[in-house]
Amino acid sequence: MVNIYYVWDYLSNNMKLFLSLVPFSFTTITAIALTIITISIYKGFNWLDRSTKKDHPKNNHERPVPRGGGIPIYFSLLIVVLLFKMINPAVMAIFAGGSILLILGILDDLFDLDPYLRLGLGILAATIVVVGGNIKIQYLSNPFGPGVIELNHWISELVSILWILWSMNFVNMGAKGLDGQLPGVVVIAAITMGLLGFRFIDDQNTWLSIFLAFGLAGAYFGFLWFNFYPQKIMPGWGGGSLAGYFLSILAIMSGTKLATALIVLGIPLVDVSYAIVRRIKEGKSPVWGDDKHLHHHLLRLGWSKRRIAISYWVVTALLGMIALHLNSEAKFYAMMLVSISVGGVLLWMNYFISSNRQE
């Protein structure tokens, strides 16, 4: 078998794109099969989320639904990685950390674990990737001038762990509210990270980062068929945290393109940032959910779940296309614009809806 690492640089971009569809197709098919099996198992054991919107204001489902979405997503990507022998120390560390999130997700489906316990073990998962897999943010682009800002060893590891931990929690909290919302956003974000490999990297890690990116997109695309309204299964904490976990790692592997990830995931990230500030201001715990996220406000305005999910996809795709064509300075201003725009909308909605409630 010809080692793809050695022929990658000699392929045209069209051939590279065609080759990238291989992991996407395999993980899509595998995820579909594993999702069907997961739904059957959860229903067979009666492992259903019965906490509907009547029990907690953050919930939007009206009937019991299984929450084991992390299982088909994780294993579909792992199976394809093993099938194509894409194994090295970095990949082993990625899936070792991911296995912690998967197990936490399964346990959370059954016992609703304390969020601070999940946070602590999330730090462990991120540390395994950074220290064990040597996947680190070693430099940051200077948005206001030429060159880069190099980080020393300890700062590099600390920043990398915080980046992965921050991403897994913020994506989980901000992009997982409605049927189909999370997987659609992840598919687009992962493809965006994969396309970075065609433009910004020129070494033997190119194929690995692109393989994982398109494989991740396929895993969530396969899951999407069962999560779109009316959902038959939810991502759960496992599916949501794995989304941010893998995307943050891909941002590092794609040449430390953190700004691209921040732009393409702008809506959920700003939404959660605003929610945390609001909860702290109200004297509440920042990790406990509520019904004041952007998608909750849109539901109150009469938007359907389908419309909200598709709107998230469309905006994410537009932001992804924009991010791929910006330099470092332009990305900085784009992040500021997204933050101000989404934050302004949230502020207006909170005021508008609160005023209507009082009337």
Task: With CA atoms as reference, report the closest residue to 194 among 243, 247, 269, 141.
Answer: 247
Q: Report pLDDT digits (tens) over 174-211.
A: 888 899 999 999 999 999 999 887 765 555 567 889 99
Q: Tell me how crowded residue 79 is: count the other CB atoms within 10 A of its CB.
A: 18
Tens digits of per-residue pLDDT, 282-330?
A: 888 787 777 788 888 888 888 999 999 999 999 999 999 999 888 877 8
Backbone angles phi, psi at 12, to 5 degrees: -75, 165
In DSSP notation, 210-278 reads HHHHHHHHHHHHHHHHHHSSSPSS--HHHHHHHHHHHHHHHHHHTTS-HHHHHHHTHHHHHHHHHHHHH
The torsion of the CA quartet 111, 114, 120, 121, rounded to 10 degrees, works out to: 10
Asked if 343 and 268 touch (Cβ cutoff 8 Å), the reply is: no
pLDDT of the residue at 1: 36
Please state whether the predicted TM-score (pTM) of the whole model is above 0.75. yes
- Structural tokens at position 40: 């059957």
In this model, does residue 49 exceed pLDDT 90? Answer: no
Quote the pLDDT of residue 314. 96
For residue 342, the surrounding DSSP H or E stretch is: helix 328-358
- The predicted pLDDT at position 358 comes to 47
* Model pLDDT for residues 216-243, shown as the tens digit of each residue: 999 999 999 999 999 999 999 999 999 9
Whole-number Å distance between alpha carbons of 201 and 179: 35
pLDDT value, residue 274: 87
What distance in Å separates the CA atoms of residue 173 and residue 286, rounded to the nearest whole number?
Answer: 11
